């Protein structure tokens, strides 16, 4: 399909989705909302794709929803008639995407849970659910109530990002991570993601049972047989996703 305000590229089992409004620091337009959800769903359903890489064009990652679009280019009243399709919004789609999604934050990021107290609104789109689980209740309250803006090292210390690298190395580093993940058994990677997502809300006993059910399916896969053979033969495995 034709995507608006983003670039969708495929290669080496990796789908790269690039937010593409660099003149607006990739602020999310209404067309971008639906295009991003569609691109994520397309990548998740594509058997040739094993990893999704999300990034932004230009010097910023994303400036959040484009308020000029939302307010019709003025600072007047919010258009009360506007409606979002929450069930198909990017955060909901991301949450249910089975394939691993890596984000290469190439610059400033705002919205979807950041600095909302400074705009008179709350952390929406799952921000209030995710943030306490990622960094704990106390730190989440601090960031939300104070509307704090974090630099890269603070985000790393809090566990909001996995690594910080120089700007000139970002694309190569993100691609290297994606390539490493794509080389693993895709059925197992996706099953592990589903299992951990379910475990966010379930009990220990439920997690153990869910893992057992996933194993029953994985034991029957060609990739499991290849994993065992490659271990015994002391070689790198070649997984096919079957």
Degrees, nearest 5: CA angle 18-99-47: 95
Q: Rounded to two decimals, what is the model's pTM?
A: 0.89
- Domain range list for the chain: 6-110+149-182, 186-232
Which tokens hold the place of 7? Answer: 């670039």
Edge-to-edge strand list for the sheet holding 101-104: 6-11, 14-19, 51-56, 101-104
pLDDT tens, the chain, 242 aa long:
789 999 999 999 999 999 999 999 999 988 999 999 999 999 999 999 999 999 999 999 998 888 776 666 544 455 555 567 888 889 899 999 999 999 999 998 887 546 666 667 777 778 888 889 999 999 999 988 888 888 999 999 999 999 999 999 999 999 999 999 999 999 999 999 999 999 988 899 999 999 999 999 999 999 999 999 999 999 999 999 99
pLDDT at position 111:
72
Which CATH superfamily is 6-110+149-182 part of? 2-enoyl-CoA Hydratase; Chain A, domain 1 (3.90.226.10)
Which tokens hold the place of 128? Answer: 């209030």
């Amino acid at each position: 399909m034709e995507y608006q305000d983003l670039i969708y590229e495929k290669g080496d089992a990796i789908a790269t989705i690039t937010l593409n409004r660099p003149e607006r620091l990739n602020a999310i337009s209404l067309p971008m909302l639906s295009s991003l959800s569609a691109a994520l769903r397309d990548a998740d359903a594509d058997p040739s794709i094993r990893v999704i890489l999300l990034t932004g064009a230009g010097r910023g990652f994303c400036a959040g929803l484009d308020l000029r679009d939302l307010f019709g280019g003025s600072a007047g009243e919010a258009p009360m008639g506007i409606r979002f399709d929450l069930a198909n919004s990017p955060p909901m789609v991301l949450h249910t995407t089975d394939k691993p999604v890596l984000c290469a934050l190439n610059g400033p990021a705002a919205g979807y849970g950041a600095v909302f107290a400074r705009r008179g609104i709350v952390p929406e789109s799952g921000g209030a659910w995710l943030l306490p689980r990622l960094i704990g209740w106390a730190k989440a309250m601090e960031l939300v109530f104070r509307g704090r803006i974090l630099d890269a090292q603070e985000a790393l210390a809090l566990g909001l990002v996995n690594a910080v690298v120089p700007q000139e190395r970002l694309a190569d580093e993100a691609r290297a991570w994606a390539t490493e993940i794509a080389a693993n058994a895709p059925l197992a990677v996706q099953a592990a993601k589903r299992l951990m997502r379910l475990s966010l809300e379930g009990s220990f006993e439920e997690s153990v049972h869910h893992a057992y059910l996933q194993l029953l399916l994985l034991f029957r896969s060609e990739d499991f047989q290849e994993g065992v053979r490659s271990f015994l033969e002391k070689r790198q495995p070649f997984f096919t996703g079957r």
